[in-house]
Amino acid sequence: MWARNIITLYFSIGIGTGLGFGLIYLPAIITVTCYFEKYRSLATGIAVCGSGLGTLIFAPCLDYLIAKYGWRGAILICSGIVLNCTVLGALFRPLETDKRKKRSSTEKSSRDVKNVRQEYSNTLSNQEQCKNTYSVIFQKDNNNAGIRSLSQPVLISKNVVQDSSENSHKEHSNIIQEYSEEIFHINESSTNLPNKIEYIKTDNREFKTSIDTEADTFQEDINISLLKDPVFILFTFSNFCTSIGFYVPYVYVLPQAEERGINKKDASYLLAVIGIANTVGRIILGYVSDKPGVNRLLIYNLCLTICGISTILSTFCTSFASFTFYSSIFGFTSGAYVGLTSVILVDLLGLNRLTNAFGQLLLFQGFASFLGPPIAGWLYDVIQSYDPGFWTAGGMITISGLLLFFIPIIQKTVIQKTVNIQKTKNITNN
């Protein structure tokens, strides 16, 4: 608010505010996504609908604040509102897991293992979509008469033993000589195969098994693992294309409507329509995505494809009613892009990789968002029409939606390749 030249605004409201909002947005979305499981899509949709409400509410409020207090006063008031995120962020708390209680009797330990095996086998019988079977080895401590698992559980698939790290392998070799083994089988869904975390609850105890076959160190997981994952690469490229076209309607739908002869007052309502439809879309799509048997990735792909096609067809709008219809379709379908992105990442990569994956994804989204509106503006300067900008934006969004239809094919290919490698290693070891 005290800026006296545009250079100061570049560093303050440009770099400073952009960096701050980036630091706010990532942990806010990650926290909600990690906290909920059954209603994860709905909770994330509600959490991110604030930007849709902001589009609806703050547009007229800012006009009023600027008229009454000037742009400096309006900036000061907005800064105070944003500063409340400090208080709200301080309320975030990590989830706490109950610690397992040790048994003092060998007979109780054996009975507990049998109960776990029976209860979990009953659960697995109801899961028709589970295809791949893995075994996790748990050691029974004869000295302490309790059951414990390795810090890096041993994964057995097709008679092939895989360790999460060299330390885990060494620890397993030493423990095998001292402890007897109790083995039970886990069916692992092929869609959530990497880094799956399951909690098996029995008698108020939790047995936690974690599968992580790629990363040797935390640093390696951040820098290498995700960038080698073909599913993550395709999803990132799709989001990059979406972000190029996502902000073009927000910036140019008003001047495009005015260019078609719609008065400025009526055209100003189009952003409000987008904001309302976007808010409703995030909540409804999140609610529907949480329903059993619903393919969230398919909903996500269809919404992006419809959003892109409608943006291309918006160049044929000539009346306020047609622009309102387009704004409603764009706002509703684009709600999937904001509300379901983090949830889809959990489905594709696993919850424990969400923070790294979402952070890297936002990095590419930021670059793409920086490119989209300037490209549309440059096209208008050259051709003197907003239509090429909307064609480009709609085409990029449509491509992003169509690309994601290949993810199931890539997943099957990766799984088959992994199985073949495991078979080859097994033959070599034998």
CATH number of domain containing 259: 1.20.1250.20
Give φ, ψ of 208 to 5 degrees.
-100, 125
- 311 and 234 within one domain: yes
Q: Indicate whether 333 belongs to any domain.
A: yes
Distance in angstroms (rounded) separating the CA atoms of residues 206 and 186: 15
Residue type, 177: Q
pLDDT of residue 27: 84
Give the end of a domain, one of 203, 231, 247: 203
Write phi, then psi, for 156 (nearest 5 degrees).
Answer: -115, 125
Find the domain containing 129 and state its range: 106-203
* pLDDT score at 161: 38
Q: pLDDT averaged over consecutive 10-residue blocks of the chain (430 residues)?
A: 92 91 84 84 83 76 90 93 90 68 47 54 48 41 37 36 44 45 40 41 44 47 69 92 91 90 85 87 88 89 94 91 93 89 87 83 86 89 90 94 91 85 84
Phi, psi of 5 (to 5 degrees): -155, 170
Residue 409 CB coordination number (10 Å): 9
**Pair (264, 345) in one structural domain:** yes
Q: Does 293 lie in the same domain as 233?
A: yes
Q: Are residues 241 and 350 in the same domain?
A: yes
Question: Among all chains, which residue has been given the structure tokens 């495991």?
Answer: 422
| Contact by Cβ (8 Å): 376, 250 | no
Residues 386 and 264 in one domain: yes
d(CA 82, CA 305): 34
N-terminal to C-terminal alpha carbon distance within the chain = 72
Residue 250 shares a structural domain with residue 167: no
**230 Cβ partners below 8 Å, 6+ apart?**
410, 414
- The pTM of this model reads 0.62
DSSP-derived secondary structure letter, 94: -
233 domain residue, yes or no: yes
**40: CB partners within 8 A, 6+ apart:** 33, 290, 343, 346
Same domain? For 110 and 66 the reply is no
Q: Is residue 122 part of a domain?
A: yes
The span from the CA of 242 to the CA of 400, in Å, is 6
Angle at 352 between CA 183 and CA 34, to 5 degrees: 115
Q: Which two tokens stand for residue 46?
A: 């509600």
Cβ atoms of 418 and 230 within 8 Å: the answer is no
pLDDT digits (tens, 9 = 90+) for 182-221: 434 344 433 444 443 444 444 444 444 444 444 444 454 4
> Domain for residue 314, yes or no?
yes
Q: What is the pLDDT of residues 110-160, one digit of tens each?
A: 555 555 555 555 555 544 444 444 434 444 344 443 333 333 333 333 333
